[in-house]
């Protein structure tokens, strides 16, 4: 409903940059230039994680507009940022399989699409334009709906997610798990566990549009680990 309303408003009022409101059908040059990918790498309990930036300031605002506001005009910017994060993990590799973390049914219904799967596909296309043989493979499934992560600490979150995913295929070659936001890394680690259980041997790490640092504000309306909200 919201996207219909937005599309109708754009028709009547004229489309605008979703970040600053200046006229145009997409993110304006000034806003795009003010938000360059600035990859930040962390190791979260043994898993290398790269975000194209830290979850603060205008980067956080852009993510919220995309994720909660249903702003499709931010798709290209988000894919560009995710691609930059993936590149950081690739090293000398020139091929990669991107595996999106699975969304809940509820989230797909609320958003009208599988946000992270679409993001992975767009990032793969983006990587292709610079000569990286990238494929997005949505092989992970949720075994069960996980409980609300919101009030849980790191250990409880991992326990809540343990065994919650399985893979219907074995991705070949180097694999990067992708998500929009990584906070504690519990979701990405569960994805890695499921892929290894299926037989994946070369998991380079996880890439996201943003990583939340210790000082980052929580994603509004979203539990720290995301699974319920995606």
Determine which residue in the list 7, 8, 20, 197 makes contact with Zn ion, applying CB under 5 A: 20
Determine which residue in the list 12, 16, 19, 223 makes contact with Zn ion, applying CB under 5 A: 19
Q: Which helix H or strand E contains 43, and what residues bound it?
A: strand 40-44
**Regarding beta strands 203-211 and 47-51, do their DSSP bridges make them parallel or antiparallel, or are they unpaired?**
parallel
Q: In the complex, what is the shortest distance from the CB of residue 54 to Zn ion, in angstroms, rounded to a whole number?
A: 21
Instruction: Indicate the residue among 17 and 120 with the shorter CB distance to Zn ion.
Output: 17
CA 183 to chain centre: 11
Instruction: Indicate the residue among 23 and 163 with the shorter CB distance to Zn ion.
Output: 23
- CA–CA dist 220, 129 (Å, integer): 34
Is 49 near Zn ion (CB under 5 A)? no
Which residues 58-117 are close enough to bind Zn ion by CB under 5 A? none
Q: What are phi and psi of 86, to 5 degrees?
A: -65, -45
Q: In the complex, what is the shortest distance from the CB of residue 118 to Zn ion, in angstroms, rounded to a whole number?
A: 22
Determine which residue in the list 28, 35, 188, 192 makes contact with Zn ion, applying CB under 5 A: 28
Q: In the complex, what is the shortest distance from the CB of residue 13 to Zn ion, in angstroms, rounded to a whole number?
A: 16
Instruction: Indicate the residue among 24 and 39 with the shorter CB distance to Zn ion.
Output: 24
Helix runs in the chain, H state only: 2-13, 29-34, 57-67, 75-90, 105-111, 115-128, 154-161, 186-198
* Biggest CA pair distance of the chain: 52
- Of 10-18, 51-59, 114-122, 170-178, the segment contacting Zn ion by CB under 5 A is 10-18
Angle, helix 75-90 to helix 57-67, in steps of 10 degrees: 120
- Of 15-23, 36-44, 124-132, 180-188, the segment contacting Zn ion by CB under 5 A is 15-23
Nearest to 206 by CA among 39, 36, 12, 22: 39
Footprint on this chain of Zn ion (rule: CB under 5 A): 17, 19-20, 28, 31
């Amino acid at each position: 409903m919201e996207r219909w309303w937005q599309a109708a408003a754009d028709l009547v009022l004229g489309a605008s940059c979703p970040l600053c409101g200046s006229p145009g059908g997409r993110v304006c040059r000034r806003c795009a230039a003010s938000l360059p990918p600035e990859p930040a790498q962390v190791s979260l309990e043994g898993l290398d994680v790269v975000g194209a930036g830290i979850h603060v300031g205008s980067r956080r605002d852009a993510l919220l507009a995309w994720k909660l506001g249903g702003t499709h005009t931010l798709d290209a910017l988000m894919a560009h940022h995710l691609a930059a994060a993936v590149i950081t993990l690739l090293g000398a590799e020139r091929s990669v399989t991107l595996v999106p973390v699975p969304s809940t049914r509820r989230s797909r219904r609320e958003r009208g699409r599988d946000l992270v799967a679409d993001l992975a596909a767009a990032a793969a296309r983006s990587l292709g334009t610079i000569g990286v043989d990238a494929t997005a493979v949505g092989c992970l499934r949720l075994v069960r709906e996980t409980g609300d992560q919101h009030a849980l600490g790191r250990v409880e979150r991992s326990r809540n997610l343990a065994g919650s995913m399985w893979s219907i295929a074995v991705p070949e070659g180097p694999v990067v798990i992708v998500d929009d936001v990584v906070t504690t890394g519990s979701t990405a680690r569960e994805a890695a566990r499921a892929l290894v259980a299926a037989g994946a041997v070369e998991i380079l790490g996880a890439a996201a549009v943003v990583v939340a640092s210790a000082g980052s504000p929580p994603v509004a309306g979203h539990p720290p680990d995301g699974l319920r909200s995606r």
